């Protein structure tokens, strides 16, 4: 007995693209919900896109804001460098927090990462996620 199976690769790609698009959209929605809010710009900047690249279906979720990576990964001792934040050209750091007086410091520890994108992916994805991979 012989069985021949013909696979409609275009149909498989369409089905797979639909699944990846659903997951990508759900990750973006979860990331918006998980993103910290100061003025709402970070949440509003989160975008998603699904595309077919050759034989691959790729889902992407991102923010184009420069500070999004600092919020996600952390800064200072909590960030990739693992070092306190110190002034480069002055003797002290200086800033004025909202609703407060001017603050001076020789160094600051930084802020802990808030991995809203990675957490959203882990929450929503039907596939296993390797949290040791840097996004």
> What is the pLDDT, as a whole number, of residue 115?
94
Contacts of 67 (CB under 8 A, 6+ apart): 42
pLDDT digit of tens for each residue in the chain (135 aa)?
898 888 887 788 888 899 999 999 999 999 999 999 989 999 999 999 999 887 789 999 999 999 999 999 999 999 999 999 999 999 999 999 988 899 999 999 999 999 999 999 999 988 888 776 554
Report the predicted TM-score, pTM, of the whole model to 2 decimal places: 0.82
SS3 of 79, please? Answer: coil
How big is the chain by its Cα radius of gyration, in Å?
21
Contact 62, 47 (CB under 8 A): yes
CB atoms within 10 A of CB 30: 21
> What is the pLDDT, as a whole number, of residue 12?
82
Residues 79, 72: Cα–Cα separation, whole Å: 9
CB atoms within 10 A of CB 62: 15
SS3 of 63, please? Answer: strand
> What is the pLDDT, as a whole number, of residue 79?
93
Residues 30, 24: Cα–Cα separation, whole Å: 10
């Amino acid at each position: 007995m012989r069985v021949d199976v013909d696979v409609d690769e275009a149909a498989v790609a369409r089905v797979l693209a639909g699944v990846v698009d659903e997951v990508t959209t759900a990750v973006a929605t979860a990331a918006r919900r998980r993103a910290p809010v100061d003025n709402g710009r970070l949440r509003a900047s989160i975008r998603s896109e699904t595309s077919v690249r050759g034989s691959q279906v790729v889902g992407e979720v991102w923010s184009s804001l420069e500070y999004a990576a600092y919020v996600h990964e952390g800064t200072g001792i909590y960030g990739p460098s693992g070092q306190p934040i110190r002034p480069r050209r002055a003797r002290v750091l200086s800033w004025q927090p909202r609703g407060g007086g001017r603050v001076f410091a020789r160094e600051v520890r930084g802020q802990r990462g808030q991995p809203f994108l990675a957490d959203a992916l882990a929450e929503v994805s039907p596939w296993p996620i390797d949290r040791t991979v840097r996004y």
